[in-house]
C-alpha cells in the first residue's frame, strides 16, 4: 500500500505548462513577467492535481487545498509549490486574491460533479478561469476597469471549450460532467452518452449548442487585445483568441468523443500567427516603460 499523500506536492501528476491546450506564458510575454505567470501556473497546477486525484476523498482534497491557501497567506506551513509564487507576488506588489479564488474552484470540483444550467457553469468559470486572466493583466499593470470584462469572457470561453473537448475523459475518469444538464435534456441526451466511443446525434446537438454559446463569449472578448497597453501581451492574447475561435468552430462539426479536436503543432502555430498578424494590422507598436502594478490590484 502506498503512503498517504501529505501535501499538494505529493499529489502532482507531472503535467506542466507544455501539456496545456493553450500557451502558458509563451516567449511573447516579456521575461520580467514570465516568472510570475509560471509561478502562478505551478501553484494552480498543484491545486488542480489535488482536485482531480482519484485516490483522495472529497474531505481530504478540501484539507489539502486549505493547506495550500494557508501556505500562500502565511497562516500555515510551507509547500514547494507555494514559495515561488509568494516571492513573485511580493516582487510585483500583488495580493494572493486570484490564486485563492482558483482554489475555490478546486473545492467546487471536490464537492460537485454536475451543473444544472449555463449560469451554474459560468459561475464555476468565474473562479476556475477568470482569475487566471485577471492575474496576468494585473502583473502587466493593465487597468482592470478597461480589460477585465473582455478578459473574463475569453477566459470563460476557454474553460468551456476545454470542458467540451474533454467531456468524455472527465466523465470516464472523474465522473465529472460540466455540460449543463438542462441542455442535455433539451436535446434528449443523458450523461451516460458521454461514456460511449462516439457521440450520439443527441449529444452532438448538445455540443453544437454549447459551442455556439462559446463563440458568443469569444465575440464579447474580441476587443481585448486592442485594449491592452502591453504590446507583447496583446499579441499573446490575440493568438490565444484566434486559436479558441478555430477550435470552437471545429466543435460545431467534430465529435470530441471520437475525433481529435486540437490541431497539430504546425496548424496550431499558423493559426496563432494569424491572430498575431491581425493584431499587428489593427494597432502599431506602442512602446512604453513597464508600469508597476499597484499594490492590492485585483482585490
Q: Is residue 274 classed as helix, strand or coil in its secondary structure? A: helix
Q: Which of 41-50, 95-104, 205-214, 289-298 has the lowest mean pLDDT?
A: 289-298
Q: In the 8-state DSSP scheme, what is residue 4?
A: P
Q: Are residues 79 and 213 in the same domain?
A: no
pLDDT digits (tens, 9 = 90+) for 201-249: 999 999 999 999 999 999 999 999 999 999 989 988 998 998 899 999 9
Same domain, yes or no: 205 and 85: no
| Rounded Cα distance, 63 and 104, in Å | 12
Q: Judge contact between 72 and 99, C-beta under 8 A.
A: yes
Residue 49 sits in which domain range?
28-111
49 and 121 within one domain: no
Provide φ and ψ at 80, rounded to 5°: -60, -25
Give CA–CA dist 125/131, Å, rounded: 9
Is residue 190 a part of any domain in this protein? yes
Of 111, 135, 160, the last residue of a domain is 111
The domain that holds 237 is classified in CATH as 1.10.600.10
pLDDT at 79: 82
User: Do residues 110 and 65 make contact, with C-beta atoms less than 8 angstroms apart?
Assistant: yes
CA distance 187 to 59: 35
**What is the distance between the alpha carbons of residues 229 and 291, in angstroms, rounded to a whole number?**
10
* Averaged pLDDT score across all residues of the chain: 85
227 phi/psi in degrees, rounded to 5:
-95, -5
Q: Answer whether residue 3 is part of any domain.
A: no
Q: Are residues 195 and 272 in the same domain?
A: yes
- In the chain, how many domains are there? 2
Closest CA to 296 of 116, 144, 81, 146: 144
In a domain, 192, yes or no: yes
Q: Quick one: pLDDT band at residue 24, thresholds 50, 70, 90?
A: low
- Does residue 137 sit in the same domain as residue 221? yes
* Residue-wise pLDDT tens digits, 173-200: 999 999 999 999 999 999 999 999 999 9
Judge if 134 and 272 occupy the same domain: yes
| Digit-coded pLDDT (tens) for 117-175 | 999 999 999 999 999 999 999 999 999 999 999 999 999 999 999 999 999 999 999 99
How does 21-56 read in b/e, with b if 16+ C-beta sit within 10 Å? bbbbbbebbeeebbbbbbbbbbbbbbbbbbbbbeeb
* Backbone conformation region of residue 298, classed left if phi is above 0, alpha if psi is from -120 to 50, else beta: left
Same domain, 106 and 120: no
Other beta carbons within 10 Å of 144: 15
Query: Which range (109-123, 155-169, 277-291) has the least confidence?
Result: 277-291
140 within some domain: yes
> 261 and 143, same structural domain?
yes
| Rounded CA separation 144/134 (Å) | 8
Residue 81 is assigned to a structural domain of this protein: yes
Distance of alpha carbon 225 from alpha carbon 75, whole angstroms: 38
What does residue 202 show for φ and ψ, rounded to 5 degrees? Answer: -65, -45
Question: Are 101 and 122 in a shared domain?
Answer: no
Residue 10 forms part of a structural domain: no
Instruction: Identify whether 53 is part of a domain.
Output: yes
What mean pLDDT is predicted for residues 95-111? 97
Whether 179 and 274 share a structural domain: yes
Do 118 and 195 lie in one domain? The reply is: yes
Would you place residue 278 in the very low, low, confident or very high pLDDT band (cuts 50, 70, 90)?
Answer: low
Whether 17 is covered by a domain: the verdict is no
Residues 76 and 133 in one domain: no
Rounded Cα–Cα distance for residues 77 and 41 (Å)? 20
Amino acid at each position: 500500500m502506498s503512503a498517504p499523500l501529505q501535501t499538494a506536492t505529493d499529489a502532482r501528476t507531472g503535467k506542466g505548462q507544455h501539456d496545456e491546450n493553450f500557451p502558458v506564458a509563451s516567449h511573447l510575454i516579456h521575461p520580467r513577467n514570465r516568472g510570475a505567470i509560471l509561478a502562478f501556473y505551478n501553484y494552480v497546477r498543484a491545486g488542480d492535481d489535488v482536485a482531480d486525484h482519484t485516490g483522495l476523498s472529497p474531505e481530504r482534497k478540501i484539507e489539502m487545498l486549505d493547506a495550500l491557501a494557508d501556505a500562500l497567506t502565511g497562516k500555515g506551513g510551507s509547500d514547494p509549490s507555494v514559495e515561488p509564487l509568494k516571492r513573485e507576488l511580493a516582487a510585483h506588489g500583488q495580493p494572493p486574491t486570484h490564486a485563492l479564488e482558483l482554489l475555490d474552484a478546486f473545492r467546487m470540483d471536490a464537492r460537485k460533479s454536475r451543473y444544472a444550467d449555463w449560469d451554474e457553469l459560468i459561475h464555476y468559470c468565474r473562479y476556475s478561469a477568470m482569475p487566471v486572466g485577471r492575474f496576468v493583466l494585473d502583473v502587466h499593470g493593465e487597468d482592470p476597469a478597461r480589460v477585465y470584462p473582455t478578459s473574463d469572457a475569453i477566459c470563460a470561453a476557454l474553460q468551456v471549450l476545454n470542458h467540451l473537448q474533454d467531456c468524455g475523459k472527465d466523465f470516464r475518469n472523474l465522473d465529472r460532467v460540466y455540460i449543463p444538464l438542462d441542455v442535455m435534456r433539451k436535446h434528449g441526451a443523458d450523461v451516460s452518452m458521454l461514456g460511449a466511443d462516439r457521440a450520439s446525434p443527441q449529444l452532438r446537438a448538445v455540443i453544437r449548442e454549447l459551442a455556439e454559446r462559446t463563440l458568443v463569449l469569444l465575440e464579447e472578448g474580441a476587443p481585448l487585445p486592442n485594449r491592452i497597453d502591453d504590446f507583447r501581451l496583446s499579441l499573446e492574447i490575440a493568438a490565444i483568441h484566434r486559436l479558441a475561435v478555430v477550435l470552437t468552430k471545429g466543435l460545431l462539426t467534430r465529435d470530441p468523443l471520437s475525433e481529435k479536436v486540437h490541431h497539430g503543432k504546425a496548424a496550431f502555430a499558423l493559426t496563432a500567427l494569424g491572430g498575431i498578424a491581425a493584431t499587428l494590422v489593427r494597432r502599431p507598436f506602442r512602446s512604453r516603460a513597464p508600469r508597476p502594478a499597484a499594490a492590492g490590484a485585483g482585490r
